Structure 1
Amino acid sequence: MKNVTIADVAEQAEVSKSTVSQYLNKRYDYMGEKTKQRIQDAIEKLGYQPNIVARSLKQKSTKTIGVIVANILHNFTTEVTRAIEDVCHTSDFHTIICNADDDPVKEKHYIEMLRAKQVDGLIVFPTGDNKDLYQKMLDSSYPVVFMDRNLEEMDIPAIMLHNEKAAALAVEHFVEKGYRRIGMITTSILNHTTPRKERVEGYKKALQKYDIPIQTDYLISVESQSVQAELEELLHLERAPEAILAGNDLVLIEILKFAKLNGYRIPDDLAVIGIDDVSFASFYVPAITTVAQPTFKMGKAAAEMLLKKIQKQKTENTSLRFEPTLMIRDSV
């Protein structure tokens, strides 16, 4: 069965090949409705499929971007990538989403694979351990934007939250409610992930602001699967914390699981605030106080910045920080 070509569609619709080409590229502002309908009918009758590869070579664009996320299980990641896809869809771009699992090897593989597929640009939640690849993209003026994390030594713009302020908002709310023994649990900061480091720093600065001693026992940084075991030890200290700040949504889930399994009442036995406004926060019993990120605004900003770079529009090559919002509910 031979491939159906533009020439076949043009013959069927009784128009020129250039008219079909204009229709396929949506350049039909001055094309009559009957002509458009004949072309559409011909495409459907013949089963014509445009040759995307050939079109990409001709236009020097695949109309596709890659998004390499650190961990697709995060609520933040889901909402950000949805916003990126919305912007790209509106601009007639496609998105390919890859999950690196915070693994530099997987991230390297995906960067190389997506560039081999000639995607027009990348939005990356960087692991930070592939600086040679990031630098190669910079050296070749390849369009790239970082999301959620930055590398100060790399001249790549990043879209991020004011992470220190996010942690400070939580600590301040705890203090306002009368808590002084305030702990924090975050996923591992061993790989120097920007938001985790900054949130820990914000937690420490807020404690200092209120003359609360920083107790190393109260600050835990582990992988999410170890949170419950660490929390067990923490809450059996002679002077255990009365309140816990969860550094992200995965930690919050582990804390809530632990509380339920071990009969801890929130907030009577343990007050809790989570950074990331998870979908269940408002209807969990009790409703969970969180610090929300403007995820859709952040994803939209990243996509718009990348598309401007791809289209060589004038744009500031500077990072953007977004404001967190304290969502006060019943867990404090």
Structure 2
Amino acid sequence: MKKKQSANMKDVAALSQVSIATVSRFLNNDLSRMSEETAKRVKDAIDKLNYVPNSAARQMVTKSSKMIAVVVANIDDYFSTELFKGISSILESTGYIGVLFDTDTNQKREIQLMDSVNSQSFDGLIFQPLTSDMSLIENEIRREIPIVIVDREIELSPWPQVITNNYEAARNAMLKFQTKGYKHVIILSSEINIASTRRERYQGIKSVANNVDVIEISEKSHNHKDIHKEIVSLIKKSDEKTLIFAIKERWLLEFIPGLMTDGYIDDMNVTATGFSDTDLARAIEPKAELIEQNPFLMGASSAEVMMDLLNDDDAKKIPSKLIIPAKLK
């Protein structure tokens, strides 16, 4: 049986009575140089011929893969999930595809994934690095492509950054809880010194509170019983009102429900707050005051900055640092 030959751009151009260049512009979503009638003819021809664009062939012509690498720290965190959703919402509306890489909070894995990104033909990179060390990041990035850093503040960064006001948000929240009499703070965090976000939040809390205990939890930890016991022990030892402050939403979701069930959080002598990325923490305790981030907006904003870079917009007009504020609500 003879194999049916696939349609090509030349066939589409002939059927729609336009040039191959016009078909190419249509496929690249560049409709500014054609009428609505012409665009409709090209679309109808594509549908009739069941034409599927050959991305590899198009890439050879346009020198563009229409793909953006998105490297995040941990897809298990709702923050990274919402971040990627925001990025995808903008990229897809402009004809690009975001390709997600998860470093799983592992530096070796991040290096390996960045090797893959460097060897592939991505048009750009949106990067949530594990570290804020500029020298380490520079060693990982070896391609001259547009880059946007998200959720990490890096000193002397040559790339635009989309971040949260971590220090101010944590400090302002601590000030408010201190006026309510909460003097003892138990901080729940992943390893603080690794990421700028955690350091800034910790410093914001410490700028207000003097009686602070820190429990650093491994991202790989599933030993919740021991962590639960440690929190309870610290609550019992203190003769001051205690605030449990989760640096990230994951620790709110994993530890606060158990403490509530056991009666340790009564919103009188012991209460909890932290950074929240979704509605899940609010669903657990509707009356809780939480620091609401907007990772979806951070992702969308980083993708918009990427589009500006790809479109060769005036670099001077692209902000070196875009802050998406988080607020206690």
1:149 deviates by 1.0
SS in 2 for 1:320: strand
1:15 deviates by 4.7
Q: Which residue is 2:207 aligned to?
A: 205
- Measured in 1, the distance between the counterparts of 2:130 and 2:265 equals 37
SS in 2 for 1:183: strand
Contact kept in structure 2, 1:234 and 1:241, CA below 8 Å: no
The 3 A distance-change label for structure 1 pair 24 and 243 is: closer
Shifted more, 278-287 versus 161-170: the winner is 278-287
Q: Which residue is 1:6 aligned to?
A: 9
- The sequence identity of aligned pairs, in percent, is 27
The 3 A distance-change label for structure 1 pair 295 and 285 is: closer
SS in 2 for 1:220: strand
Q: Which residue is 1:193 aligned to?
A: 195
- Measured in 1, the distance between the counterparts of 2:273 and 2:174 equals 9
Contact kept in structure 2, 1:135 and 1:154, CA below 8 Å: no
The alignment yields a C-alpha RMSD, in angstroms, of 2.8
- Measured in 1, the distance between the counterparts of 2:136 and 2:34 equals 46
Q: Which residue is 2:235 aligned to?
A: 235
Contact kept in structure 2, 1:281 and 1:289, CA below 8 Å: no
1:272 deviates by 0.8
1:297 deviates by 3.4
- Measured in 1, the distance between the counterparts of 2:278 and 2:34 equals 48
Matched, 1:321 2:323: yes
TM-score, length-scaled by structure 1: 0.84
Query: Alpha-carbon deviations, 1:231-262, whole Å to 9, x = none?
Result: 13322325475221111101111232321442
1:223 to 202, 211, 218: 218
The 3 A distance-change label for structure 1 pair 195 and 133 is: closer
The 3 A distance-change label for structure 1 pair 285 and 326 is: closer
- Measured in 2, the distance between the counterparts of 1:160 and 1:100 equals 19
Residue correspondence of structure 1 range 134-173 to structure 2 within 5 A: 134-135=137-138, 141-152=144-155, 154-173=157-176
Q: Which residue is 1:284 aligned to?
A: 284
The 3 A distance-change label for structure 1 pair 169 and 75 is: farther
Contact kept in structure 2, 1:145 and 1:306, CA below 8 Å: yes
Shifted more, 311-320 versus 90-99: the winner is 311-320
The 3 A distance-change label for structure 1 pair 16 and 317 is: closer
Contact kept in structure 2, 1:228 and 1:254, CA below 8 Å: no
Q: Which residue is 1:210 aligned to?
A: none
Contact kept in structure 2, 1:249 and 1:274, CA below 8 Å: yes
Gaps of 5+ in 1: 208-212, 328-332
Shifted more, 23-32 versus 248-257: the winner is 23-32
Residue correspondence of structure 1 range 85-124 to structure 2 within 5 A: 85-124=88-127
Contact kept in structure 2, 1:166 and 1:275, CA below 8 Å: no
Contact kept in structure 1, 2:124 and 2:306, CA below 8 Å: yes
SS in 2 for 1:181: strand
1:179 deviates by 1.9
Shifted more, 9-18 versus 298-307: the winner is 9-18
Gaps of 5+ in 2: none
Code of the residue aligned with 1:220 in structure 2: it is: I
Shifted more, 305-314 versus 46-55: the winner is 305-314
TM-score, length-scaled by structure 2: 0.85
1:118 deviates by 0.8
Contact kept in structure 1, 2:164 and 2:324, CA below 8 Å: yes
Matched, 1:298 2:298: yes
Contact kept in structure 1, 2:70 and 2:98, CA below 8 Å: yes
1:304 deviates by 1.9
The 3 A distance-change label for structure 1 pair 234 and 93 is: same
- Measured in 2, the distance between the counterparts of 1:206 and 1:248 equals 19
Contact kept in structure 1, 2:166 and 2:197, CA below 8 Å: yes
Q: Which residue is 2:211 aligned to?
A: 214
Shifted more, 221-230 versus 192-201: the winner is 221-230
Shifted more, 270-279 versus 239-248: the winner is 239-248
The 3 A distance-change label for structure 1 pair 111 and 244 is: same
- Measured in 1, the distance between the counterparts of 2:142 and 2:100 equals 24
1:4 deviates by 2.0
Contact kept in structure 1, 2:253 and 2:281, CA below 8 Å: no
Query: Alpha-carbon deviations, 1:57-87, whole Å to 9, x = none?
Result: 2111112111111112223222222221122
Code of the residue aligned with 2:326 in structure 1: it is: P
Q: Which residue is 2:272 aligned to?
A: 272
Q: Which residue is 1:183 aligned to?
A: 186
Matched, 1:310 2:307: no
